[in-house]
Structure 1
Amino acid sequence: MDEQEQSTAIRVEALSAPLQVQAQAWAQRLGLPLEDDQAGFAVQVSGDGLQVQQLGPQAPGPVRVDFVEGQAAHRRLFGGGSGQMIAKAVGIAQGIRPTVLDATAGLGKDAFVLASLGCSMTLIERQPLIAALLEDGLSRARLVAEVAPIVERMRLLTGNAIEHMQHWQGEAPQVIYLDPMFPHRDKSALVKKEMRVFRPLVGDDQDAPALLAAALALATHRVVVKRPRKAPIIEGAKPSHSIDGKSSRYDIYPKKTLKA
């Protein structure tokens, strides 16, 4: 095993004996070993839920999906509601709550914000580890009365987003939201714990142009692409305009006007 392979090897472990059965079940589902001394990452079954921990000295703390407390709760309560840039980008307005497909769901933070504002969300995540964290986070959130109605508006699909979009079943989403991992290195983003943990595992979305093309073919009203503020646009169709923030921007590809 070379150094690169060693650094991204993953094992599953329980953080307490009563959770060992759950750990075995996740190991089987994810096709990962329960013991691997060479692993650089661990999928941990803890009392607080499923989490991914980078191993070794100077590693950041564990990453889990939490829609109930922490950043998600603060943004839900104090994030600015429909005045947020992402809300404007997807077309939320008085009487307008579009159906949205988040085709690069990640840890579900943006999808949760849109669901909390009343949008019906479908999430697609192709990286099995991240999809597992999302599934676990959604399951735990359904048990909490104040957020259960929000996560009930969030449906999770796993697998390749391009294939899902090309073979879509049912009514097409009005808006498709993309936030691809890109080779462009945004230093402010890379210091975030989630980025430090997941970039070695996930890599970059080299198929972003195909992702955009599939989204434009499926969405009925618009496609929105989130990018680091100074990053280039995705190769292919050109956005009509952008909404700029301090560190990010939203490129808007309109097809039809959203109406109440």
Structure 2
Amino acid sequence: MSTPTIFCAEPARADYALRLEQRFGLERLKRRPDAGYWLELGAERLQLITVGKHGAVFAEFVDGAARHRREQGGGRGQPVARAVGLKGGQTLPTIVDATAGLGRDAFVLASLGCRVTLVERSPVAAALLHDALERASMAPEVQAITARMQLVHANAITWLSELPADRQPDVVYLDPMFPDTGKSAAAKKDMQAFQTVIGDDLDSAALLQAALGAARARVVVKRPRLGDTIAGRAPSGQIVGKSTRFDLYSLKGMPRD
């Protein structure tokens, strides 16, 4: 895979662009390309740009859909909250989102009080997440939420496998990207572009195994409602919605083979 590139469209932010390059292994572009995809740093945010029909992709924790879910999302009654085991009066679980992507579900869980570690191996996705967290850290309305979100740029399989016992989370959350089989509705355009650049998680079976070895209480796998289970491994429970399903793997009494 070629080295991801970044173009700094705002000269005043050159130092920040350099920090992104160094942390995520990006290659600086001297001019804006006319083909392919690249990360572009503007005056307001970092975006993934793709030439063609797809629009810009960025992570966002302050405005737009993030604001709506924060204010109108339904609290602990949301399916993702139920899936990780959030209940009224219960001690909040620690969570590792091992396929963080654009951080949307991780933000919801953090907004409900959970401490969430976002693990993302793609340098493109990790850079977008970092930028969103940087911007959110300066927004008073979400500062307390994003303070509960920690970004780790690493291969989750290796990272989970090497996690010391005293740092193991209660829950490992997985939302792997699979090749389109035609069984689910087409993704929105921004996610189509994102998936094209990030690629599919073809090692999801190994990721599930690593998650089962690292979680204290359960592993949650988000899937399309009609999607296959990972490696055909039957969950101990499910939460099924209109378009999405959560497969639950309870570790109470489950052998870690």
**Quick check: TM above 0.5?**
yes
Q: Is there any run of 5+ residues in structure 1 with no aligned partner, and where? A: none
User: Which residue of structure 2 aligns with residue 98 of structure 1?
Assistant: 93
Contact 1:107–1:133 (Cα < 8 Å) also in 2: yes
CA distance, structure 2, for counterparts of residue 76 and residue 54 of structure 1: 29
Give the CA deviation at 1:218: 1.1
Give the CA deviation at 1:184: 3.8
User: Which residue of structure 2 aligns with residue 141 of structure 1?
Assistant: 136
What amino acid does structure 1 have at the position aligned with 2:137? R
Give the total of aligned pairs: 249
Q: Is there any run of 5+ residues in structure 2 with no aligned partner, and where? A: none
Q: How does 1:95-244 map onto structure 2 within 5 Å?
A: 95-96=89-90, 97-169=92-164, 170-185=166-181, 190-235=186-231, 237-244=233-240
Residues 254, 32 of structure 1: alpha-carbon distance in 2 compared, 3 angstrom cutoff: same
More deviation, 125-134/17-26: 17-26
CA distance, structure 2, for counterparts of residue 152 and residue 250 of structure 1: 26
Contact 1:99–1:121 (Cα < 8 Å) also in 2: yes
- State the secondary structure of the residue aligned to 1:113: helix
User: Which residue of structure 2 aligns with residue 246 of structure 1?
Assistant: 242
Give the CA deviation at 1:110: 0.2
CA distance, structure 2, for counterparts of residue 42 and residue 177 of structure 1: 28
User: Which residue of structure 1 aligns with residue 9 of structure 2?
Assistant: 15
What amino acid does structure 1 have at the position aligned with 2:11? A
Residues 158, 10 of structure 1: alpha-carbon distance in 2 compared, 3 angstrom cutoff: closer
Contact 1:89–1:243 (Cα < 8 Å) also in 2: yes
- State the secondary structure of the residue aligned to 2:29: coil
CA distance, structure 1, for counterparts of residue 80 and residue 182 of structure 2: 19
Contact 2:5–2:28 (Cα < 8 Å) also in 1: yes
Normalising by structure 2, we get a TM-score of 0.89
Give the CA deviation at 1:9: 8.0
CA distance, structure 2, for counterparts of residue 25 and residue 103 of structure 1: 24
CA distance, structure 1, for counterparts of residue 73 and residue 246 of structure 2: 17
Contact 1:124–1:158 (Cα < 8 Å) also in 2: yes
Contact 1:226–1:251 (Cα < 8 Å) also in 2: yes
Whether 2:45 is the aligned partner of 1:49: answer yes
- Percent identity of paired positions between Structure 1 and Structure 2: 47
User: Which residue of structure 2 aligns with residue 80 of structure 1?
Assistant: 74
Residues 216, 28 of structure 1: alpha-carbon distance in 2 compared, 3 angstrom cutoff: closer
Give the CA deviation at 1:28: 5.1
- State the secondary structure of the residue aligned to 1:19: helix
Contact 1:186–1:228 (Cα < 8 Å) also in 2: no
Give the CA deviation at 1:52: 0.7
Give the CA deviation at 1:187: 7.3
CA distance, structure 2, for counterparts of residue 109 and residue 54 of structure 1: 21
Whether 2:64 is the aligned partner of 1:70: answer yes
2:27 pairs, out of 26, 32, 41, with 32
